[in-house]
Structure 1
């Protein structure tokens, strides 16, 4: 007599279950958006019970925050190519990859869908894990260029460093192809290098 076999159900626990829940959360954000995301849908996609979610996360906001925080890529390291232009392009390339990742798409979906007040917690997360580290690595790149005699540290103001994420977010929202490699080269060659390579004394003179 032929025996009937049944698939073995493996119950995930701990880190494995958490990863599955976070992956399901990101996928739901990309497909349905934040407003339509529900704990029930995430539980079904992760093949777990709602109780597993509610035991740890009291709301979908906290679940989404934890999913994004755990999944965002680490900040890029200073490339150290020996060239300011090459370093800037490498850093911007790493930021482009982060923005185009599933986690980056999910984060942008949340921020673009909510008004500023409701998105405050998510904006804070983006600052802590993306924008602030990006500012730091860009400053480190400029400091290395200063040591080589390429650039002036005095002109690397917060406003100048803000140009990179601001332009990337603007193009991501307004341009079908997002922020492209050609955009990155134009940003470096037409904006950043003319400013960063400018003598500090000249910048002070323009301010009167």
Structure 2
């Protein structure tokens, strides 16, 4: 009987170590082959594990991609921008969102949204900043920049919704000019 050479076969990983390897493999696979060509088989090969091991944790490729996004991409800072000016604060938030959307890629966002219905985009991309815009708007009301009666739930969501819409329609990251246009020509006139 021959002994196996050390390093010939990977040691069996479990728990957090195995999950971290699968998450990294899923992210690498997504970045290399894109969402349409992303497969559990490809992830299993990269992670040096089996498909059943992955399927025990994630029932389908979309759930695996979503988990990888949440694990690999850092969430935006918890601190809500407070520059003292509404326009600047909103632009910071929109740039943070745009950066995350760019890293994930519109193709992946489209793919996830088409399958994982009922999950808001903010949850899909780990951008759970639902109170950030409200906080920014409340500060602007306190400074007298905008009128309180103009701030509604729909208006509060509008800048993020418009950036998301732009990405989903154009399949491109949103330019700084477009972000400025969303803020200056659409959003601010509605609340002043």
TM-score for both structures, normalised by structure 1: 0.72
Matches within 5 A, 1:10-159: 11=11, 12-76=13-77, 77-101=79-103, 104-105=104-105, 108-113=106-111, 116=114, 118-120=115-117, 124=119, 126-128=121-123, 133-159=128-154
Does structure 2 retain, via aligned residues, the 8 Å contact 1:24–1:46? yes
Q: Say if 1:47 and 1:89 are closer, same or farther in 2 by CA, change over 3 A.
A: same
- Relative to structure 2, which stretch is displaced further, 14-23 or 92-101? 14-23
| Distance verdict in 2 for CA 1:39–1:181, change over 3 Å | same
- Mark the CA change 1:8 to 1:150 in structure 2 (over 3 Å): closer, same or farther: farther
CA contact (8 A) 1:79 1:87 kept: yes
> Structure 1 residues 53, 15: closer, same or farther in 2, change over 3 A?
same
**3-state SS of the aligned residue for 2:119?**
helix
Q: 1:66 to 1:115 in 2, by over 3 A?
A: closer
**For residues 6 and 40 of structure 1, do their structure 2 counterparts lie closer, same or farther at Cα, with a shift above 3 Å needed?**
same
Counterparts of 2:20 and 2:112, CA distance in 1 = 25
Paired with 1:151 and 1:92, the residues of 2 have a C-alpha distance of 19
CA deviations on 1:43-94 (whole Å, 9 max, x unpaired) are 1122333343234234334323322333453244311111111111111111
Q: Deviation at 1:143?
A: 0.3
Rate the CA distance shift 1:60–1:130 in 2: closer, same or farther, 3 A: closer
Structure 2 regions of 5+ residues with no counterpart?
A: none
Distance 1:54 1:174 in 2: 32
- 144-153 vs 161-170, greater mean Cα deviation: 161-170
> Unpaired segments of 5 or more residues in structure 1?
199-208
The root-mean-square deviation of aligned C-alpha atoms, in Å, is 3.1
* Count of equivalent residues: 186
Rounded to whole Å, the distance in 1 between the matches of 2:46 and 2:129 is: 33
